[in-house]
Amino acid sequence: MYKNNNYSGKDRIKGFLWLFFSLFILWLLLTSTFYYQEFWVGIVISFIIAITTHEFYIRLGFPPVTPKRFGFFILYIFILFWEIIRANLDVASRIIRPSLPINPGVVIIKTRLKSDLAKIILANSITLTPGTFTLDIQEDRLLIHWIDVRATAIEEATEIIGGRFEKYLRIIFQ
């Protein structure tokens, strides 16, 4: 599962710093106070976590954090939440109004993502949206159970199900 990536010392330092600052910002958002004691505790805890985990972060196949990747990751989180809300409303409307059409089935979508980690994140994102469930990942293909199959052609199903996530994941993991 661990990747043997040959990142330079500069990439490792940048990765550590981005991880540290990301953790510290998360700390500030979670505590929502700026008392100096909590501020310093946040710095110390963020430093300890970053120093002990940044090597695992790199070995698991995560790319080095850059401002562009970080920005697209934040955007991806918002897109994911929006798609989860939309899918929840769609499934809820089908439950409330049984007259709406339902056409369950299994389709194959194809991904252009190269990293195994990116494919897993794509599969989990698809599964998190109600109405779709990733059954299997085989190389560049994902087997998806879909509550309302609207397309059986691989290209069209790929665009409808995975296209909204994949374009962001490609930028994050390239």
Q: What is the pLDDT of residues 64-96, one digit of tens each?
A: 777 888 889 889 999 999 999 999 999 999 889
Average pLDDT over residues 128-143: 93
Residue 129's CB is within 10 A of a number of other CB atoms, namely 20
Amino acid symbol at 136: D
Query: Could you count the other beta carbons within 10 Å of the beta carbon of residue 35?
Result: 9
Q: What percent of the chain has pLDDT over 70?
A: 95
List the chain domain ranges.
Answer: 9-59, 67-173
pLDDT at 2: 39
Instruction: Look at the chain and count its residues.
Output: 174
| pLDDT tens figures, 35-75 | 889 899 999 999 999 999 887 777 776 777 778 888 898 89
